[in-house]
């Protein structure tokens, strides 16, 4: 019985379903019986993304990490180099530093576009080869 409960808990966490009803988060959570995570959180500002990315709330931070992974995977090899040349820790550090240093006006733009700008500026294969 304990194994079953642990498996259920792991599955809930994997699906992003909160196990703590009162956990505070700025990102909207999907309902347990729907897949609205993408629909509800697809138009984040860079400031909202950065707040979630740095959050102490693990659920919120995981949502931000999933959002970032989507941007990274969609832009690999076109906007920024690739996973073969750049380590994941370097990607995280570059995004963190870029957002930390960004002008507040820039942070009001859509998060995906700001992340792409940071990646293109700092991690483009073309820039490294020049």
Q: What is the pLDDT of residues 76-124, one digit of tens each?
A: 999 999 999 999 899 999 999 999 999 999 999 999 999 999 999 999 9
Q: Which of 72, 17, 29, 26 is nearest to 49 (CA)?
A: 26
Whether the pTM exceeds 0.75: the reply is no
CATH topology assigned to domain 23-28+35-129: 10k-s Protein, Hypothetical Protein A; Chain A (1.10.890)
45: DSSP letter: B
What pLDDT, in 10s, does the model give residues 24-48? 545 555 555 555 555 556 678 999 9
* Cα separation, 115 vs 29, whole angstroms: 22
The number of beta carbons lying within 10 Å of the beta carbon of residue 102 is 17
């Amino acid at each position: 019985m304990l194994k079953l409960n642990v498996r259920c808990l792991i599955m809930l966490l994997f699906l992003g379903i909160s196990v703590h009803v009162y956990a505070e988060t700025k990102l909207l959570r999907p309902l347990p019986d729907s897949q609205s995570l993408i629909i509800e959180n697809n138009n984040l500002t860079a400031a909202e993304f950065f707040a979630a990315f740095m959050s102490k709330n693990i659920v919120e931070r995981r949502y931000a990490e999933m959002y970032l992974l989507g941007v990274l995977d969609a832009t690999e090899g076109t906007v920024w180099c690739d996973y073969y040349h750049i380590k994941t820790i370097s990607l995280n550090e570059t995004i963190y530093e870029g957002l930390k240093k960004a002008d507040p006006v820039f942070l009001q733009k859509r998060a995906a576009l700001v992340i792409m700008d940071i990646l293109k500026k700092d991690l483009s294969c073309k820039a490294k080869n020049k």
